[in-house]
Amino acid sequence: MDGRAGKTTKVNIFGEELGIKSEASAEYTRQVAEYVDQAMKQVAKTTHLTDIHRIAILAAMSITNEYFQAREQACQVEKQWESQVGEILRTLKKAGEGVNGEDP
């Protein structure tokens, strides 16, 4: 035993069967492996490379780019949300001041 927690899930990525030990569910592990497999197949198809290491590196770069773009988009949405919440709170504060007999 290597001391890592989790169960081993067998997956196939780019023609190689691998045993992935993870605390995640087997279904989730398979979904992640399928995503990596598809990314590698897409790189191989579009670049016509045959070196699996280069294909894996380019697939990793593509997946990381997707992640960075999604993270940036989530950050922008969070900023918009915070701005809207701030505006709502200011409006509620002004409305509350008016109800208490104070000038807004």
Full DSSP string of 44-55: HHHH----HHHH
- pLDDT for 1 equals 39
Query: Which tens digits make up the pLDDT trace of 81-102?
Result: 999 999 999 999 988 886 655 5
Q: What are phi and psi of 66, to 5 degrees?
A: -60, -45
pLDDT at position 104, please? 47
- Domain map (residue ranges) of the chain: 7-99
What does pLDDT average to over the chain? 91
Q: What is the pTM of this model?
A: 0.75
